[in-house]
Amino acid sequence: MSDLPLIPHWINGTEHHTTGTNTAPVYNPATGEHTRNVTLATESDINTAITAAATAFPTWRDTSLARRQAIIFRFRELLTTRKNELAHIITHEHGKVLSDAAGEIGRGLEIVDLACGFPHFLKGDHTINASTGIDVHSLKQPLGVVGIISPFNFPAMVPMWFFPLAIAAGNTVILKPSEKDPSAANWLAALWKEAGLPDGVFNVLHGDKTAVDGLLNSPVVQSISFVGSTPIAKYIYETAAKTGKRVQALGGAKNHMLVLPDADLDHAADQAINAGYGSAGERCMAISVILAVETIADDLTAKIKDRIQQLRIGDGTNKHEPDLGPLITAAHRDKVASYIDIAENDGARIVVDGRDVTPDAGGEGFFLGPTLLDEVPTTSRAYTEEIFGPVLSIVRVKSYQEGVDLINSGQFGNGTAIFTNDGRAARRFETEVEVGMIGINVPIPVPVGYYSFGGWKNSLFGDAKAYGVQGFDFFTRQKAVTSRWPDPAADPEGINLGFPANT
């Protein structure tokens, strides 16, 4: 066994150390250093987590809304006060720079804010005298034990898309974070404990496919929320649905940014840099393709190239913080870099080659610099597949319509953007484009917390999007109650075998 620290599970309000021996390495991506290992769940660990959550559910379900709300407010206060601590954990294990890690936490806090007002979303309806002497009202109740399977790229924000609403609604949670950067999940679990959340309401189960399948196949787990690649999202959806679970499985993306001739090209170039290279391109909402109308394509390409050359690449913990850090693992860095070869072999022109980068970092980190490809063929895998790294492709189009047709022909429908000063074109775009989240002169149109996040086509499996009103609907189920209190002074109605009708 390694002498490195071992990250345990968090089950029933405390650290849970498995009797199993399977672990996964956790690295500092900026240095390449193997810093610790994370426990991988056994069948026994999975059953222990599910049992803890199931045991805690009846009491948490019956806890008053006022008490639940007080705990969530306390969690919010603690997280707001100590978010810099969490940001450092994320940077050390994911590699994103500290400002980006802090931004991730800030966006997650939006959902915690929404959860603080949850009693409003749990209200039912009431109708008096739906029929003579008969009233109808509805109830919203929690599902029970719910599973969350989250990706490596946002180890704090993505879990916070789900668990604040699930907990507020009265459910108990098992979070299975990525084994690549697992410490943020344990930190959040300890914070819930400090906020006063009862043991067993929030549990963290580390692991690989064994842990995932354990949640998917358990008859106790009532729903699965997932964010990750499209093939896994489809597997999650199909497997969980077979056992009657509710599923919201958010998959991959290939997000386009259409730039029309009347756009402010300096603004468009700035936003292309932000959306293409922020968090080293490891975002499902990253812009990975710029559709540039031919008349402005040369100018836009030159402006983006100039801005790339000003970017600083390095260790996100450096005193002089760089603009972007490394990728999550060496294997992922090499996979992303392979798409540069694919594009070049397919006829694309490499404008800026990120493989030549010299980062400001010690050790052998997993760095790939910002890469810009021009004239990328739409038949190339570099165009059709999600790269998930700092590789930005330019595809030249003749017109607005050709750009929209290209977007709509793709398998994904997560996010897209148009840059224009023409309101008519923008209005047409938001109506005609077959994508779930749209930006108009906004490159990363992630909705604010009180709207819902989710795409179309192969970017979302299941009927419910993440957070917002749809999030509360996902984590509750409704009952309709029809009641009558007969007047003892009235004549009895007698027997009537007819179908109940409104009288």
What CA–CA distance (Å, rounded) separates 431 from 81?
A: 42
What CA–CA distance (Å, rounded) separates 337 from 333?
A: 6
The answer to whether 337 and 369 have CB atoms below 8 angstroms apart is no
Report the DSSP pairing between strands 255-259 and 415-419.
parallel
Interhelix angle for 157-168 vs 65-94, to 10°?
Answer: 170
Cα distances (Å, whole numbers) of residue 472 to 443, 448, 449 = 27, 15, 12
CA 14 to chain centre: 26
- First CA to last CA distance, the chain: 75
What CA–CA distance (Å, rounded) separates 189 from 79?
A: 11
**DSSP-derived secondary structure letter, 466:** B
Q: Tell me how crowded residue 16 is: count the other CB atoms within 10 A of its CB.
A: 20
Contacts of residue 233, Cβ cutoff 8 Å, sequence gap at least 6 = 226, 227, 249, 250, 251, 252, 460, 461
The answer to whether 148 and 178 have CB atoms below 8 angstroms apart is no
Cα distances (Å, whole numbers) of residue 372 to 252, 260, 390 = 21, 19, 9
For 70, the token pair is 């007080």
User: What does residue 178 show for φ and ψ, rounded to 5 degrees?
Assistant: -65, 140
SS3 106: helix
- Residues 135, 138, 144, 149: what is their CA dihedral angle, to the nearest 10 degrees? 170
Over 350-415, what HEC string results? EEECHHHCCCECCCCCCCCCCEEEECCCCCCHHHHCCCCCCEEEEEEECCHHHHHHHHHHCCEECE
Name the nearest CA neighbour of 326 among 68, 93, 79: 93
SS3 84: helix
Positions annotated as catalytic residues are 284
